[in-house]
Structure 1
Amino acid sequence: MGERVAIITDIHGNSEALKAVLDDIERENISHIYCLGDMVAIGHETNKVMELLFSQENISFVLGNHEESILKIVNGVINDSDDIVQQHHEWIANNLDPKYIESLAMIPKRLEREIAGKKLLFVHYHLFENNRFLPLDTEPTEQKLEKIYENTDIDIVCFGHHHTIHHFKTANRLYVNPGSLGCGHSPLAPYGIIEIGREGQINVQFKEVPYDNTGFLREIERLKFPAYEFVLKNFHGNQHLHL
């Protein structure tokens, strides 16, 4: 038998979705979990998410753009504009338990691992050579992705950021994004499993785990944090209107 790893990404402050996925992962024969960033923001349950993640023994992390923004604010780098995204990030930063700051600051933007003879790259999103995130491409193709990684020996690129599932295969490598675990227009939390067999065969499984999101959505409406109406509409499909 080969090795099976779980890929989770874009939890976005949704602890109930994360709990459901972690429980499901426990029932799978998983050797390690890779968390691909954007654990925070959009949702409000930052500290609950951090507690759940950092209590896992078999997990590795890469940094997302939202963690990067929160850390800048914590370090005093604050945009003076009235941009609602900045206001939202300031609210998240102000409610972050300080005990998690050091752990977040130590997370790299990329990880490379060899698993069952295959080289895997884990990133929140594709990076420039200076380690900055590339702009989001909402219409990715095999050709575009290959252009980014053509000079690498990576076999499997695992990423997030774009909240939809991606599963591209070229002659050179595989590209996998399991979609946002914590943001969705239905009470389902997605994640991915990559299994690499002894002979190098690769199997990718996308799972959606049902969970109760009613308390999470009602608390967003009660808190009315910056951009909460945009969050409820665009990231959760206004499900709270039908509870």
Structure 2
Amino acid sequence: MSLVDGNEEGDYLSYKIAVLADIHGNHEALKSVLKHIDGTGDVEHIYCLGDLIGVGYQTNEVLDKLFSRNDISFVRGNHDQDVLSIIDGEKPNSKGEEREHHHWIASNLNPSFIPKLRSIPYTLRRQINGVSFLFLHYHMKKEPQFLPVNYDPSIDELEKLYHHEQSKVVCFGHHHVVHHFKNDHQLFINPGALGCSHNPTAQYATITVGDKGNINTSFFEVPYDPTDFLQGYEQLQVPARDFILTNFYGNQHIK
């Protein structure tokens, strides 16, 4: 399914990017999305908005797939940071079952991926076809402190958060649902969670910047088969699996 906003007609020098968020260690969903992106043939670059790992358990498969490509830029998410904190012998922000889960993820992480994870910044700023973009995992007061999730956001609240921000387009994730807010001078995009859904679909977005600075945004839901992935939680005895399967995947494994 796609939802399209804008008009590309006449944009002969347009530049298209894909925006992914919240892969959450789900290699099956990631493979389907990358195949879908590669099949379009016109995406110039991919921006990944953090939470590459955690929740899902396919950490090494996801990182191997992502880091093997040279067309992806990353920002760091809270799950990425919590796992790195554990690896560095520091106290993560996660608690209870979530912290136990992060310890399990850290203990199963291929050490060769750690330097690359550590190199990922919290924010990226880019000029794309003359339009300024800000990429981050979620709203922050200051690095590395993410604000609590606002489950009922509005354009007025986003304007207040970013009233000093000069970027015309702000892309973020963390809250796993699609956001598309705009006013006369800014556009706020959340592509939705790629790796966590109560349906067997993986979400992402594309943003096309035209030669005159006009912007076209499309949202996609790519179908995939999550059966083996969901069954793996029990087979591997992944910590917090009951909570994860219920709250992040809607117990699809028993439907």
Range of TM-score over shorter length: over 0.9
Code of the residue aligned with 2:242 in structure 1: it is E
State the alpha-carbon separation in 2 of the partners of residues 171 and 55 from structure 1: 39
> 1:21 — aligned with what?
33
> 2:114 — aligned with what?
101
Cα offset, 1:78, TM superposition: 3.5
How many aligned positions are there? 242
Which of 147, 163, 175 matches 1:134?
A: 147
> 2:7 — aligned with what?
none
The CA RMSD over aligned residues, in Å, is: 1.4
Report the identity percentage: 48
Which of 8, 13, 21 matches 1:9?
A: 21
**SS of structure 2 residue aligned to 1:193:** strand
From the superposition, tell whether residues 178 and 24 of structure 1 become closer, same or farther in structure 2 (CA, over 3 Å). same
State the alpha-carbon separation in 2 of the partners of residues 130 and 183 from structure 1: 25
Q: Which runs of 5+ in 1 are unaligned?
A: none
Residues 36-115 of structure 1 mapped to structure 2, 5 A cutoff: 36-78=49-91, 83-115=96-128
Code of the residue aligned with 1:110 in structure 2: it is T
> 1:175 — aligned with what?
188
Cα offset, 1:131, TM superposition: 4.0
CA deviation profile, 1:126-165 (whole Å, cap 9, x unmatched): 1113442111111111011111111121100000000000
Cα offset, 1:82, TM superposition: 7.1
> 1:35 — aligned with what?
48
Show structure 1 runs of 4+ deviating over 3 A: none
**SS of structure 1 residue aligned to 2:116:** helix
Cα offset, 1:177, TM superposition: 0.3
**SS of structure 1 residue aligned to 2:220:** strand
Cα offset, 1:77, TM superposition: 1.1
State the alpha-carbon separation in 1 of the partners of residues 238 and 84 from structure 2: 19
TM-score under structure 2 length normalisation: 0.92
Check whether the contact 2:97–2:240 (CA below 8 A) recurs between aligned residues: yes
Cα offset, 1:220, TM superposition: 1.1
**SS of structure 2 residue aligned to 1:236:** coil
**SS of structure 2 residue aligned to 1:190:** strand
Cα offset, 1:83, TM superposition: 1.1
> 2:5 — aligned with what?
none
Code of the residue aligned with 1:164 in structure 2: it is V
State the alpha-carbon separation in 1 of the partners of residues 247 and 189 from structure 2: 24
Code of the residue aligned with 2:23 in structure 1: it is I
Code of the residue aligned with 2:125 in structure 1: it is E
Code of the residue aligned with 1:85 in structure 2: it is E
> 2:157 — aligned with what?
144
TM-score under structure 1 length normalisation: 0.97
**SS of structure 2 residue aligned to 1:27:** helix
From the superposition, tell whether residues 5 and 82 of structure 1 become closer, same or farther in structure 2 (CA, over 3 Å). closer
**SS of structure 2 residue aligned to 1:5:** strand
Q: Larger deviation: 220-229 or 6-15? A: 220-229
State the alpha-carbon separation in 1 of the partners of residues 24 and 131 from structure 2: 29
Q: Which runs of 5+ in 2 are unaligned?
A: 1-11
